Chain A
């Protein structure tokens, strides 16, 4: 394939941008606060896929892209690449989360109980004006919910399969690895992946192409503190907190490398309240490292590291797909010329002229 630089269309581009601004200008009337608090799940999708935790910029990006969330994530990702990275925060642990929601479908009675939190899971999905009754919450406890994972007792009893621990954490934004892919890179790819892509591949596992029916061991949404070192005192300082979602799904009992029978698990984690994404990520993680129970044939997408590492990023797939809108005269004209030449050759041969 050849590339040729072309120029032109400047005035059309200028006018098109002006037209776009005019068509979408009403978005600017929406207050950032209303977007952040009211369309909170849109904001969370954008910060997760844009891989930059900034609700203010996410609101700005959603307005700039007139509600196209993938496009908004692109704005955020681009902004991220223009900022200096000052360092690495202290490692966060989902067991420290101040929970606002916590579900376990694997256990009925778990320490700390199940918390539905703010959810419309059980709402009838009809667009009727159904008013929820006022509730009196005064009688309820005001205590924090910082609860260990529901899988902790099984881990303590050494019943859960453990994967090898890496010495160093890979950062795909600085250096993209080749196969065999480090686990930290695989998890990073999924954590910043596009929700729909993760859902699609996660769904293939449920339909038989992977571990058929994982169970949610612990789904949690809540806040975690971000900490860094004060440059002058050298002590730990809280920078703020982030809302996150994590999921540990459980698969089946399986023999590990030592021949011991252990429960397989998968882990999902992302910024913001994105539970479908985190569930999907945990299912794919389970399939990647435990594909034994697939009934879907030899090629299991959810257990194919190459497929996962190169097809989940929304910004990349969005960019590649949309690049087809750019001029491809050379590509197409080359194909067309080859076709015409071949057609002419065949016609000449059929008429005996080519002999």
Chain B
């Protein structure tokens, strides 16, 4: 697993599980919050198929946090207003890089990823069941 996957996958994990792992890390290591979980926005550019240029469709609300676990800095930017998830994700980001609870983090995220993929497959079946077959009359 790459460090860059943590930000997305951590948002799929049940918050209770994230909190449990966060507390375990916090109890055994020095965790410092450098930037509190903060609401911010990201401007979203969309490709215009007619000109090949782009335009801004609007902004996405995100919550960002920067932490330090031992000597390693961690960051998160999660969708919507989610201060706790942002904090826990930033701690996982730093811990992963610092080789702290790395296997546990990987296991938690891979489980969440598998559940998400199963759900996507179920949704895909529903979507594919609505594919239209035309017969000329």
Contacts and interface: CB of A to CB of B under 8 A. Distances in A.
Question: Do A and B form a real pair?
Answer: yes
A137 interface: yes
Interface stretch (B24-32, B104-112, B120-128): B120-128
Contacts of B130: 101, 115-119
Interface in B40-60: 40-60
Interface residues of A, number: 88
A237 B46 CA distance: 18
Interface stretch (A159-167, A315-323, A331-339): A159-167
Interface string B14-45: 00000000000000000000000011111111
Nearest to B117: A142
A226 B75 CA distance: 16
A141 B44 contact: no
A94 B48 CA distance: 9
Nearest to A282: B50
A203 to B, nearest CB: 22
Contacts of B62: 86, 239
B13 interface: no
A183 B4 contact: no
A135 B125 CA distance: 11
Contacts, number: 227
Contacts of A115: 127-128, 130-132
Interface residues of B, number: 56
B80 interface: yes
Contact of A91 (B47, B58, B66, B73): B47
B49 A89 contact: no
B78 interface: yes
Contacts of B79: 226, 239-241
A232 B73 CA distance: 8
Nearest to B118: A142
Contacts of B52: 162, 165
Given A55-B80, A80-B59, A88 B42 contact: yes
A228 B75 contact: no
Contact of A166 (B51, B56, B127): B51
Contacts of A170: 55
A145 B38 CA distance: 35
Interface in A238-259: 238-242, 244, 248
A83 B42 contact: no
A135 B129 contact: yes
Contact of A144 (B43, B47, B120): B120
B50 A162 contact: yes
Given A54-B80, A140-B128, 14 more contacts: A84-B39, A84-B41, A89-B45, A90-B45, A91-B54, A135-B129, A163-B51, A164-B51, A165-B53, A184-B55, A187-B55, A226-B79, A233-B3, A269-B46
19 contacts: A47-B58, A51-B58, A84-B38, A85-B42, A89-B45, A92-B45, A93-B46, A101-B130, A117-B127, A118-B126, A118-B130, A162-B51, A165-B51, A191-B56, A191-B58, A238-B7, A240-B8, A265-B49, A289-B50
Interface of A: 47-48, 51-57, 80, 83-94, 99-101, 108-109, 113-119, 135, 137-138, 140-145, 149, 151, 155, 160-166, 169-171, 173, 183-185, 187-188, 191-192, 226, 228, 230-233, 235-242, 244, 248, 265-267, 269-271, 285, 289
